[in-house]
Structure 1
Amino acid sequence: MALSLSCRRFLYRQHPTFLQCRQSGYIVMLPDVPLHSDDNPLLRSDEFQDFSGLTVRKCYDGVVRRALDFEAGFWRVEKHIKGKENMSEVDLFQEYLCPTEELSRPLENAYNAVKIIRQTTDLLNSEKYGKIASRAALALDNKYSSPLLYYSCKSALSQSTSLQDDQKRLLKKFTLFGKLNGLELSNSNYEALVAIRKETLKNQTNYNNKIEHESRLFKYPIGDPHMMKNVPQHLLKAMSDGLDPSRGPWTVRFLTIEPFLEFCPDALVRDKLWHERVTFGLNNELTKLNAEVDHIRHSRKREAKILGFRTYADYSMESTMAGSVDNTLNMLDHLLEKARPAQAHEIESLNKFAFQSGFHKPLAFWDVGYWKNEQLNKTYNLNDNTLSDYFPMETVLNGLFSLLYDLYGVEVQEKSGVPTWHKDVRVYEIFDKTGKSPSAYVYLDPFARSGKPYSNGVALTLRNRSLVGEGQSPQVGLVFSFTPPTPGKPPLLSFKNVVDLFARFGYATQVVLSKSAYAEVAGTSFIERDAVEVPAHFMVHWAFTPSVVQRISGHYESGEKLPDTALNNLDKIRRHMAGFSLCNEMYKCRLDLELFATDIPWKSVMDELWPRYSAFPQDPLDHSPMSFYQIFNDSSSCYYSNLWSKVIAADIFTAFEEVGVDNKEAIRAQGER
């Protein structure tokens, strides 16, 4: 596609700040150029990433080397474009966008490999990983901060009528990102924006380092086996300090406080752990978070103002389905109308149950999780450890794969011989309808182990689909903390594990089923932030569908399907205390939006919101907003996205229910829409 002549006028208007940033970047980095090394797997271009022998140094050197290669290559591409005498002869896609994608691919793949190492080992702490992430982001930002590329895409988008859908999305992405990177600002405002973002990054780095430092320091030992008798196996494994998780000793750490509270029978311990959680970083002068939180909020506001938005919350809505803060608040208010009364009824019922069970004082917030589980077990006779006997991991996976075939017409087969980061990791090939060759790959790292961070489920894109140049197949990594097999027992999943597995495979479908020709807009790369989790929540609905539960269940000894009584009670489990859970989630959503839409001190925001969303009195020691780390990193004003995705997913699943969830032909037609 030829560039408009109007772009040519722009070639003579260099953006001084951009050039200065690029030039100074090279001056800083050149003395620390890592050499190409055959023994660094991040510097090899193979169909499957080799993870063997990775060290902190190799992770850093590999990403930095790839970053420098990209920057040098991108500079050459732009030099070629600027050297054209007649800009109408430039093919925007073939000479500019496609070469840029080919150049960025090795860097993105190396960086994604480091991300999965971060999620599955203790090799990289926040400080070490932060340096790698910052260097990768600095390099990749070049393509979204290039005035030449921005105005070229903007011109092509406004003038061409023959673009394919993929091409339109690609141009829209570069246009939107360029605008939000300040490429239409005056030089002085652009310089101010760069300085503000540098300041924000510095404060985020300090914040994350403090969070990690305090997290590593927190340890609460437990030696009494009675305290652990109802704890699920996967959580026992994560908390165990010995070779035998069933015998202990055990330690509660920061990431396991909340899940452990649901099974802790000692009210005093629940009280102590909950207060440790909500006063996190408050008592240690070296790790107090107030200053960083205030700085991040302030710099976010300044950033939004420079870009022409009233608040940072308004700025964050630019790439969302919601479209505006008002639309988001309307959703929260609408849900609150039913959820708040439901919560009051649920807490009243739970108080009565706890009293009848011998707990003769009003429940506190930290008691809810434990008594919720007790009520579930006694009302529906469903215990996670008993249920897990009916969900061997292999049976669940086979049932899940058959469901994916029914929905999308894809077949999943295990593939051997692929290098992975640990011996437990499995690799699956995804075959589309043609069945001729695999179209995508899924890495599954299922089990808890020493040194692996505890997780309810993480999905990471390792490679996006691309048809540019040599191309590449999409790859996604799924990470869990399931209980590993034991002598005489295969790996068994709790029903919560099953739900988590379905959710993360739902996320993976966006990556592996993508048909985009360009990695820049494949998978989740250019999906609205509040729609990214829609496929995950959509798959969760299937996990509760009776016919699917029968498909994925089978007692590990007898093969017997889940009994009808338990099957009928599963949906009741899902709805149990739903009002309380929804109100708690909405409180966090609203807190996030208010913190980045106002200048009001965080404590005042909390004081105003808490009674609106909670049936419990506010604890004066509660400083939990300080450790709400998601919103002080890259998800500011976007915490609501998960809830928005749930609402959309529920609507989509309703369409499948209307045609019949057991009607394979009908659901295939719906799934392929």
Structure 2
Amino acid sequence: MISAVLRHQFLPRLLSVSRISTTRRNNGFIVLVPEIGENGDGSSNLSKPDGLPEFTHITVEKCLAAIGTEARSVEKLVEETEQLVQSKDQLNVYADILDPFEHAIKDLETTWGVAKALYLGSSTLMPTTYYLNIHERAQRARAARFNSKPIFDCLSTADPKSVEAGSPEGKQLVKKYLLEGRLNGITLQPDERLNLTQTLTELNKEKSTYRSKVETAIKQFSHVIKDYSLVRAFPPTLLEAIAVNDEEPTKGPWKVTLQPDIVKGVLEYCPDRVERWNVWQADVRKASSHTEKSLATSTHLENIRSLRKRQANLLGFPDFATMSMETKMAKDVPYVREILNSLLSYAFPAQVQEVETLQKFADESNFGHKLELCDILYWKRKHLNAVYNYDEERIREYFPLPRVITGIFHLLEKLFHVTIVERENVEAWHPSVKYYDVFNEGNQSELLGGFYLDCYSQKGRRGKEGWMVAIRNRSDVTQTKPLCSLVFNFPTPVYGKPSLLSIDDMGTIFRNFGKCMQHILTQVRYSDLAGLSNIEWDAAEVCGKVMEFFLKDPNVLVNLSGHYSTEEEIPAELLDSIKIYQNYMAGYDLCKELYIANLDLELHSSNDFWQDIVRKLWPNYINFELDKKDSHPCSMVNIFAGEWGAAYFSHIMSKIVAADVYSTFVENGRTDVGQRLKSTFFAYGGSVGTAEIFRRFRGRDLSPDALIGTLQLNRVNERS
């Protein structure tokens, strides 16, 4: 896997568009993208004296100029440091290398973070082309120090005792430099390094083509529904998303696309089985030879696999999956498979039982067919509603967004002994965005950091994921406080009615506030190790998922609740239905995750054709026959066009760690354990390996038992 430094969590975009030159031609526009300047002072106008970005005056030109200046400053320091290490007999690793780069990277990271925050706030503020210009320039400059052979050689021969004596985190930071260097091919001979460069160039081209074809396939598909009876049960947000005229969503017609949220919504709410089957088939066949041949990605998928293996072989690894483990907490592939198989031994039998129960309910409801994959979401919703009284729209009424935000603030303050205070009159990218300072409890002179909170959907904002965007990291060297942005996509209040949240919506909020606290409460000296930086991929989601597990506590739900019109707390019967919902068909859902994780590993360690691998693995994980034309690997963009190749298992590993951490709260109560979490996972950031942090927190090694218990999976013997 390409090094963690070269990978960024977001593929963001840009900033407040001002004075963008356009030339009208025929039916469209030619956008003249300003070039990134390399001279002059481009950074001085992005922040105010209080250290916060001056959002109302940030323009595309200023950001491009700032990134150009700051990038060149970092690259110039790399050149100067190379000369220094080659001419100086005795170097101080801190004074001559680590600390100067900490100062040089500060402004670059902040400008980059501001760009990401604005892009995710609304892509209309900063189009993709502009952001990518900034993103690529900043990424190249940031990686320069890790690609320097003289710096690598100097750090690899530095006295370990003197490094460790200088700072508790120094040894880990030097280790990071050396790992990044190795994965970038610094130790290779010149001809081998040239081969690696050519391989990565070809790989990036194949990944780009794969992504482009999948995106085109998604855009080209559309299915028009004219019969209102087919969309009658759709939630208002889904109806608006598919209505040709979104101002009159109930009048139709309605256009179904292959956007993930749309596909999921149709499969969940459409009562017509043929309609569901058609949409499901279009989804699993997209970008394959079973649809438009020019958009088929199978050849590109195989080329990506081959090039990744060549990359791994050049760097001394037998395959790409083994190479991937270099940036993971789980140090080898056999261990990952052992963990995943231990979960499967519980999840698969649970899946069989869950599907049998759902089939029985469907039969009693006069379904008249054997359930297929296209039926599961629809009958799952019907079963939850009929048997367990789970009514998502009614539940939403008890969780208005302002009350949920107040409730999570109180929970965070109690758990981690902090005080969260809104600061008035802070500039942001939209009037609805608020800013909060975070202080140590009882001491508002001890500022720990701050965050922007952007809750409401804006034009150009896509998806429902929610993001925590790190604008700048903590650094003791530069005396910098951490700053981040939380961006969500909830409906704007209308006619005095607040935005109402589902349980899944609240999960999104809790996950991202967990990341926010990890970013702000870190106690690490260096920004390269602070917060979420340098954390292994398979542990990066731990703190977010720990916070999400708190939604399984009925007391937390009660404290978050209050009917939007009467303010009464949520009734006990709704709490019971939420509890059922949170673990409903957990075996089925976990088996799907385990299948993708193992498929990803197998595709990056085996030489077999992808279809043969799918056919081999599928029956071990999914209790449904594989459709002959199901070509789902042809559209797995995150794995084959993104950076999650041989890394998808990371989502499950983070969940395992988080469940084990959360079980400590259940066993020992909140306050003391919250302090322990704050002083370990939050405080250490990426300065200590996650396995060691877990041992310091829990007093033992990791076990999957807590996740199995949390999901309430039946304990059974290994399947034969």
Distance in 2 (alpha carbons) for counterparts of 1:584 and 1:493: 26
Superposed, 1:119-518 pairs within 5 Å as: 119-123=120-124, 129-156=131-158, 158-160=160-162, 161-239=164-242, 241-243=245-247, 250-253=254-257, 254-260=259-265, 261-282=267-288, 283-433=291-441, 434-469=443-478, 471-518=479-526
Q: CA deviation at 1:488?
A: 3.1
Question: Relative to structure 1, is the Cα distance of residues 118 and 306 closer, same or farther in structure 2, using a 3 angstrom cutoff?
Answer: same
Aligned counterpart for 2:80 among listed residues 66, 76, 79? 76
Matched to 2:217, the amino acid is E
Distance in 1 (alpha carbons) for counterparts of 2:534 and 2:310: 26
Q: Which residue of 1 aligns with 2:111?
A: 110
Distance in 1 (alpha carbons) for counterparts of 2:610 and 2:269: 31
Distance in 2 (alpha carbons) for counterparts of 1:115 and 1:358: 51
Q: Are 2:43 and 2:69, in contact at CA under 8 Å, matched by a contact in 1?
A: no
Distance in 2 (alpha carbons) for counterparts of 1:119 and 1:510: 20
5+ residue gaps, structure 1: 1-30
Note the alpha carbon deviations across 1:52-76, whole angstroms, 9 max, x for none. 5777777656544543332233323
Q: Which residue of 1 aligns with 2:17?
A: none
Which stretch shifts more, 368-377 or 213-222? 213-222
Q: Aligned pairs, how many?
A: 636
Superposed, 1:541-556 pairs within 5 Å as: 541-556=549-564
Distance in 2 (alpha carbons) for counterparts of 1:269 and 1:540: 34
Q: Are 2:94 and 2:166, in contact at CA under 8 Å, matched by a contact in 1?
A: no
Q: CA deviation at 1:391?
A: 0.2
Distance in 2 (alpha carbons) for counterparts of 1:460 and 1:547: 30
Q: CA deviation at 1:388?
A: 0.5
Q: CA deviation at 1:411?
A: 1.7
Distance in 2 (alpha carbons) for counterparts of 1:185 and 1:462: 35
Q: CA deviation at 1:225?
A: 4.5
Q: Are 1:43 and 1:66, in contact at CA under 8 Å, matched by a contact in 2?
A: no
SS in 2 for 1:436: strand
SS in 2 for 1:162: helix
Which stretch shifts more, 249-258 or 454-463? 249-258
Note the alpha carbon deviations across 1:39-64, whole angstroms, 9 max, x for none. x8896344223445777777656544
Which stretch shifts more, 555-564 or 474-483? 474-483
Q: CA deviation at 1:670?
A: 5.5
Q: Are 1:320 and 1:530, in contact at CA under 8 Å, matched by a contact in 2?
A: yes
Q: Are 2:321 and 2:646, in contact at CA under 8 Å, matched by a contact in 1?
A: yes
Q: CA deviation at 1:613?
A: 0.7
Distance in 1 (alpha carbons) for counterparts of 2:177 and 2:673: 38
Matched to 2:464, the amino acid is S
Which stretch shifts more, 220-229 or 178-187? 220-229
Q: Which residue of 2 aligns with 1:575?
A: 583
Q: Are 1:448 and 1:483, in contact at CA under 8 Å, matched by a contact in 2?
A: yes
Q: Are 1:257 and 1:277, in contact at CA under 8 Å, matched by a contact in 2?
A: no
SS in 2 for 1:242: coil
Note the alpha carbon deviations across 1:185-244, whole angstroms, 9 max, x for none. 222222222222222222222333333333343444445544444444444454454235
Distance in 2 (alpha carbons) for counterparts of 1:489 and 1:245: 19
SS in 2 for 1:612: helix
Residue 635 (structure 2) pairs with residue 630 (structure 1): no
Which stretch shifts more, 614-623 or 273-282? 273-282
Matched to 2:137, the amino acid is R
Note the alpha carbon deviations across 1:560-610, whole angstroms, 9 max, x for none. 111111112322111111111000111110111111111211111111111
Q: Which residue of 2 aligns with 1:615?
A: 623
Q: Are 2:456 and 2:492, in contact at CA under 8 Å, matched by a contact in 1?
A: yes
Matched to 1:256, the amino acid is D
Distance in 2 (alpha carbons) for counterparts of 1:513 and 1:33: 34
Matched to 1:344, the amino acid is V
- Aligned-CA RMSD value: 2.6
Q: Which residue of 2 aligns with 1:97?
A: 98
Which stretch shifts more, 522-531 or 216-225? 216-225
Q: CA deviation at 1:266?
A: 2.3
Residue 668 (structure 2) pairs with residue 659 (structure 1): yes
Distance in 2 (alpha carbons) for counterparts of 1:616 and 1:56: 51
Distance in 2 (alpha carbons) for counterparts of 1:461 and 1:255: 26
Which stretch shifts more, 231-240 or 180-189? 231-240
Q: Are 1:211 and 1:287, in contact at CA under 8 Å, matched by a contact in 2?
A: yes
Q: CA deviation at 1:398?
A: 1.1
Q: CA deviation at 1:174?
A: 0.9
Distance in 2 (alpha carbons) for counterparts of 1:62 and 1:209: 30
Distance in 2 (alpha carbons) for counterparts of 1:404 and 1:610: 42
5+ residue gaps, structure 2: 1-33, 681-720
Q: Are 2:78 and 2:148, in contact at CA under 8 Å, matched by a contact in 1?
A: no
Q: CA deviation at 1:369?
A: 1.0
SS in 2 for 1:459: strand
Identity %: 32
Distance in 2 (alpha carbons) for counterparts of 1:179 and 1:336: 35
Q: CA deviation at 1:93?
A: 1.4
TM-score norm. by structure 2 comes to 0.83
Distance in 2 (alpha carbons) for counterparts of 1:428 and 1:643: 32
Distance in 2 (alpha carbons) for counterparts of 1:485 and 1:246: 20
Q: CA deviation at 1:559?
A: 1.1
Q: Are 2:389 and 2:577, in contact at CA under 8 Å, matched by a contact in 1?
A: no
SS in 1 for 2:169: helix
